[in-house]
Amino acid sequence: MAERQQDSDSGSGEGQARPSTDRNPGPRAEGVDPAQPGVADLVIGILGGTGAQGRGLARRFAMAGHTVLIGSRSVDRAAATAAGLDAGPGVRGLQNAAAAREADIVIVAVPWEGHGALVASLAAELSGKIVIDCVNPVGFDKQGAFALPVEEGSAAQQTAVLLPESRVVGAFHHVSSVLLLDPAVTEVPMDILVLGDDRRATDLVQALAARIRGMRGIYAGRLRNCGQVEALTANLVAVNRRYKAHAGLRITDV
């Protein structure tokens, strides 16, 4: 869950990572076959890929066989992050603009504070591409986490406004970076809510989510409904801190 954080677990709260024992993640939701070449061969760019959420997604997609480009303001930091993941030669570190330009599909995983400025600066590089926004505008005070207001309605909608030539999808909001980065966790058994206005784009992102072992991508509505999905992160932070867990979501009867 990418929110206002640096390298901490971006939404999982407290607790120790626990290896998954779920070996029956259930049927795939409808959408594109995750094994087909059009999905399996995608080069994935991750903007803000040096943060915990970006590193975690990079590691899991590299494990699934994808080439992953970790983007950062500093190419040296991006390269060091890529090497530190120990996920093989398929992970490379680049500046954000180069990662956006070279990737087939791009994930925005930057802290909320720098979200708008970074996205706007890469409009040319991201033109015509599917852009997945997983940023959660969440604040923290003495009472815990709370959702921050966003003028456009959500971080994903802000991205859509700033990138009129891109196909914007909201997804990967509720995944614990602790679980993604833990080598003892072989599966991440949870459902990924996928939101967007372009059916082909949401189908592809559903299939991309299914490339990570244990995950399913579930269509959850149009982009205008992304605000409550992002805000739910604050509730999951409260759950995780109370129960010392790294909770995710499961959708029943699908």
Can you give the pLDDT at residue 2? 54
CATH number at residue 202: 3.40.50.720
Residue 4 lies in a domain: no
Cα-based angle 251, 235, 6 (whole degrees, multiple of 5):
110
Residue 177 lies in a domain: yes
Residue 14 lies in a domain: no
Distance separating alpha carbons of residues 13 and 221, to the nearest angstrom: 27
Can you give the pLDDT at residue 159? 98
User: pTM of the prediction?
Assistant: 0.88
Can you give the pLDDT at residue 20? 41
Residue 18 lies in a domain: no
Can you give the pLDDT at residue 27? 43
Can you give the pLDDT at residue 21? 38
Counting beta carbons within 10 angstroms of the beta carbon of residue 143, is it exposed (0 to 12), middle (13 to 18) or buried (19 or more)? exposed
The number of domains in the chain is 1
Residue 27 lies in a domain: no
Can you give the pLDDT at residue 22? 41
Residue 118 lies in a domain: yes
> Which contiguous run of DSSP H or E holds residue 194?
strand 191-196
135 lies in which domain range?
Answer: 37-243
Distance separating alpha carbons of residues 99 and 206, to the nearest angstrom: 22
Residue 203 lies in a domain: yes
In the numeric block, the tokens 């967007």 are attached to 196
**Which regions in the chain score pLDDT beneath 50?**
3-27
**Is 203 in a helix, a strand, or coil?**
helix
Residue 10 lies in a domain: no
